[in-house]
A and B are shown apart, each in its own frame.
Chain A
């Protein structure tokens, strides 16, 4: 197992480097001059001064070597906009918000998906199954920004139960933190709950047909015990892969929900960096995002062995 983890970690580092390098060069191919946009109506001379200041007047390979050397030393560079903050600081500030939102959204997704998937599988072709299927498709097809706005209108504007926008760190109070995240988590988690519920259903249907399930039934085990302790753990193997990807996506792809609820997480940081052609921010964020993706997948692989002792690396 240790050998597997070391091997995969080294592989992950290569993948992260490759992604970051690709992004570095792609950013420079994409049209749009960050300095021109930053200064808008200033003089070309001023633009040249700034271009030189940020090293953007140098050949791309020189910029790449300098950037890579800085990365190796833990320096992600500086944003070229406004206060010109260190990118590492921007990421460190955004990360807890993203982790909070992704974790709660993931919990929302699981809370909805597990019972829905189990009910649909165990009551195949019944009204309950059809209802779960329809709701799942609804959840899948509902745009998250639309759901987010509906939630805001209903629960914030009309009922005034929860805040419409914003994020409060947990250090300012657990309930304050939680109530700011309830609506965004539902908005972000619903679509994933639909995917996971469908996966649980199909995986459970496979498992329920397996021979060992017939044996367990013939031993007289109660149906709910059979479902929860025999079928469900075995059905989780394929589901957990989807869950892993879902969690990684929630960490990085909740930009729409972040925008609607005014939460400055990694997704929003990345999108703003792209819109502003803020190279250092985009490169730094992509590096972190790709690391998150790769390591969440690594974690999922490791989890297989925990869930199913037959799996050995």
Chain B
């Protein structure tokens, strides 16, 4: 690497590290995240406050800290129609924020509906529907002054009543799947037409993050009462009415959704485009062909199939932008079935290594050549995985784990372990199957091929549709299972959701009389995961997180395989401001088309 590039990279790394540490420099037990009343009052939040709030909510990523993460001046003229393809989805079932449970759906709703606050080009949170706000000393009361003259797409004026109504709807579990998000709210009251007060049961610094994000903060994304009452819930889900930059003018379920510029949007400079047409495209090849034919100019939705990325990179008319995606992918082995049986994980690794079931688990984990897998199955995109903590978490990611984990790739040791378990060169290994979805069959085939090559054992592949697979997974009805997690911005998303004995994915529907635990249970990990949530400082938390992560890796809670990449593909004619490149979102209000 040339010296100047190395120096720049080094400076960049230092800058990101410093920003990251400043953002996380607060006591996690402090519900205000070290911020005071002055910090939290609006009309704008400073960059430091925003980064702190993002950190407190677990939403801060390295991407936010990149110097290029700021507004680019639009080079192209306004107007025109942008045609988008949403990858891996057959239809947009709903864009009603109360019902959205997929990222690919709030990518759309973020362009149609608004929140009280949003982020500006300099990564400073400023009012979206709120002009400014005041916080009391205790941090339990927020008074928002709302914009006047804002209207919904149906012409209804936006007032404090809409905020109250949105809260009432969101807090009703029969109406909203996000009722738990507003669980800390004591009340939302109308003070006047354009002033609203939110009272909390306890201080919660992440409140502004939760309400700010008009997309991921779906519980308080403002909906139109008038439209809901006149259209009904179902129709509203198809053509949600909000105060956002675009209004839905047409939605043919499973065909396309058309968004048109909302002429009365409160910011006369936005949106830039006249119209956006979004088509759901399930299959990879038609998506690629549509992109190459110019039928679509930008891909949103689910991650682009890895086999297409090189093809897009080679196309001079396209831009491919890649960042680390927050998630991990694994091969799970059922400890209640032979040959993976482990009665109790609460033993030192050295002791576990004497058990045949554990030897087999470790042999398989060590035999998976992650680099080969990424090359063959993911076409070189992604990072080898050895735990739930992913590289997008930056500070918490343990980049030494590949070397220190018991799962580190070592074919000779893996073969020895398998032989010690009674299966020399794979002889006598019982018939086992790996459960996966039809869509993942190809990449699972790569895994089984690698295991066959390195351990000489055959593993069958069983495909089931996702609803069946997840039902089986939760009930522990599988020998091996290929499953992973996405949208993991905080260590809690991996450790709390997956690695504790009580984790929501840890065999929650199993027969508890026959199986004392799900796929993994370790009391030390349970305690470490609890402790890291109230760790006194960031470094202490990191230590606890990495320790828990290493134990789950060493004890083969699963054979961790890789961390995926987040790839955006668009035509060169699409001028997509860098600030809109927030992992998971596709905000189109500043997007322009080259003339």
- In the complex, the answer to whether A272 meets B90 with C-beta atoms within 8 Å is yes
Is B1 part of the contact surface with A, judged by Cβ < 8 Å? Answer: no
Is A167 part of the contact surface with B, judged by Cβ < 8 Å? Answer: yes
- In the complex, the answer to whether B174 meets A49 with C-beta atoms within 8 Å is yes
Is A33 part of the contact surface with B, judged by Cβ < 8 Å? Answer: yes
Select which of B91, B238, B289 is within 8 A of A156 by beta carbon.
Answer: B289
Cβ contacts B72-102/A at 8 Å (1 or 0 each): 0000000000000100001111101001010
Complex: A156 Cα to B505 Cα, angstroms: 44
- In the complex, the answer to whether A40 meets B470 with C-beta atoms within 8 Å is yes
**Residues of A close to B279: CB separation below 8 A:** 165-166, 262
Select which of B253, B282, B468 is within 8 A of A85 by beta carbon.
Answer: B253
Stretch of A76-84, A102-110, A191-199 that contacts chain B: A76-84
Within 8 A of B (CB), among A159-177: 160, 163-167
- In the complex, the answer to whether A41 meets B471 with C-beta atoms within 8 Å is no
Is A149 part of the contact surface with B, judged by Cβ < 8 Å? Answer: yes
**Residues of A close to B90: CB separation below 8 A:** 259, 264, 268, 272
Complex: A39 Cα to B102 Cα, angstroms: 11
Shortest B269–chain A CB gap in Å is: 31
**Residues of A close to B431: CB separation below 8 A:** none
**Residues of B close to A49: CB separation below 8 A:** 173-174
Interface centre among B237, B292, B497, B508 (most CB of A within 10 A): B292
Complex: A157 Cα to B289 Cα, angstroms: 6
Within 8 A of B (CB), among A112-166: 148-149, 152-153, 156-157, 160, 163-166
- In the complex, the answer to whether B289 meets A36 with C-beta atoms within 8 Å is no
Is B281 part of the contact surface with A, judged by Cβ < 8 Å? Answer: yes
**Residues of A close to B289: CB separation below 8 A:** 149, 152-153, 156-157, 164-165
- In the complex, the answer to whether B504 meets A275 with C-beta atoms within 8 Å is no
Interface centre among A86, A156, A163, A268 (most CB of B within 10 A): A156
- In the complex, the answer to whether A83 meets B99 with C-beta atoms within 8 Å is yes
Select which of A40, A85, A262 is within 8 A of B255 by beta carbon.
Answer: A262
- In the complex, the answer to whether A90 meets B470 with C-beta atoms within 8 Å is no
Complex: A149 Cα to B281 Cα, angstroms: 14
Is A311 part of the contact surface with B, judged by Cβ < 8 Å? Answer: no
**Residues of B close to A152: CB separation below 8 A:** 285-286, 289-290, 293
- In the complex, the answer to whether B467 meets A33 with C-beta atoms within 8 Å is yes
Select which of A37, A44, A264, A277 is within 8 A of B91 by beta carbon.
Answer: A264
**Residues of B close to A37: CB separation below 8 A:** 466-468, 470-471
**Residues of A close to B237: CB separation below 8 A:** 82-84
Cβ contacts B442-469/A at 8 Å (1 or 0 each): 0000000000000000000000111110
- In the complex, the answer to whether A32 meets B465 with C-beta atoms within 8 Å is yes
**Residues of B close to A261: CB separation below 8 A:** 286
Is B206 part of the contact surface with A, judged by Cβ < 8 Å? Answer: no
- In the complex, the answer to whether A275 meets B467 with C-beta atoms within 8 Å is yes
Complex: A260 Cα to B294 Cα, angstroms: 16
Is B228 part of the contact surface with A, judged by Cβ < 8 Å? Answer: no
Which residue on A lies nearest to B465, using beta carbons?
A275
Complex: A100 Cα to B531 Cα, angstroms: 62
Within 8 A of A (CB), among B283-304: 283, 285-286, 289-290, 292-295
Q: Could you count the A-B residue pairs with CB atoms below 8 Å apart for me: how many are there? A: 139
Is A93 part of the contact surface with B, judged by Cβ < 8 Å? Answer: yes
**Residues of B close to A42: CB separation below 8 A:** 177
Shortest A206–chain B CB gap in Å is: 43
Select which of A41, A53, A149, A268 is within 8 A of B254 by beta carbon.
Answer: A268
- In the complex, the answer to whether B99 meets A264 with C-beta atoms within 8 Å is no
Is B234 part of the contact surface with A, judged by Cβ < 8 Å? Answer: yes
- In the complex, the answer to whether A269 meets B294 with C-beta atoms within 8 Å is no
Select which of A32, A160, A163, A166 is within 8 A of B467 by beta carbon.
Answer: A32
- In the complex, the answer to whether B467 meets A34 with C-beta atoms within 8 Å is yes
- Which of under 10, 10 to 19, 20 to 34, or 35 or more describes the interface residues of B? 35 or more
- In the complex, the answer to whether A264 meets B253 with C-beta atoms within 8 Å is yes
Is A46 part of the contact surface with B, judged by Cβ < 8 Å? Answer: yes
Complex: A309 Cα to B173 Cα, angstroms: 66
- In the complex, the answer to whether B173 meets A156 with C-beta atoms within 8 Å is no
**Residues of B close to A276: CB separation below 8 A:** 467
Shortest B448–chain A CB gap in Å is: 23
Complex: A282 Cα to B145 Cα, angstroms: 49
**Residues of B close to A269: CB separation below 8 A:** 254
- In the complex, the answer to whether A31 meets B468 with C-beta atoms within 8 Å is yes
**Given A31-B468, A42-B177, A262-B286, A163–B234 Cβ distance below 8 Å?**
no
Complex: A32 Cα to B94 Cα, angstroms: 23
- In the complex, the answer to whether A272 meets B91 with C-beta atoms within 8 Å is yes
**Residues of A close to B505: CB separation below 8 A:** 41
Interface centre among A32, A33, A83, A272 (most CB of B within 10 A): A83
- In the complex, the answer to whether A164 meets B293 with C-beta atoms within 8 Å is yes
Which residue on A lies nearest to B83, using beta carbons?
A166
- In the complex, the answer to whether A81 meets B93 with C-beta atoms within 8 Å is yes
Complex: A83 Cα to B290 Cα, angstroms: 28
**Residues of B close to A90: CB separation below 8 A:** 253
Shortest B94–chain A CB gap in Å is: 4
Is B256 part of the contact surface with A, judged by Cβ < 8 Å? Answer: yes
**Residues of A close to B466: CB separation below 8 A:** 37, 275
Shortest A83–chain B CB gap in Å is: 3
Cβ contacts B256-294/A at 8 Å (1 or 0 each): 100000000000000000000001111101100110111
**Given A82-B94, A272-B91, A156–B467 Cβ distance below 8 Å?**
no
**Residues of B close to A39: CB separation below 8 A:** 101, 177
Within 8 A of A (CB), among B168-185: 173-174, 177
Is B140 part of the contact surface with A, judged by Cβ < 8 Å? Answer: no
**Residues of A close to B93: CB separation below 8 A:** 81-83
Complex: A152 Cα to B293 Cα, angstroms: 9
Select which of A81, A157, A274 is within 8 A of B293 by beta carbon.
Answer: A157
Can you name 12 A-B pairs with beta carbons within 8 Å?
A: A32-B465, A36-B471, A44-B509, A83-B99, A83-B234, A85-B253, A156-B293, A164-B286, A166-B279, A260-B286, A262-B281, A269-B254
A37-B471, A166-B279 given; name 14 further pairs at CB < 8 Å: A36-B467, A41-B504, A82-B92, A83-B93, A85-B238, A85-B253, A93-B253, A153-B289, A165-B289, A259-B283, A259-B286, A260-B285, A264-B253, A264-B254
Nearest 7 A/B pairs, CB to CB: A82-B93, A264-B254, A83-B237, A37-B467, A82-B94, A32-B468, A156-B293
B residues in contact (CB < 8 Å) with A: 85, 90-94, 96, 99, 101, 173-174, 177, 233-238, 252-256, 279-283, 285-286, 289-290, 292-295, 464-468, 470-472, 474, 497, 504-505, 508-509
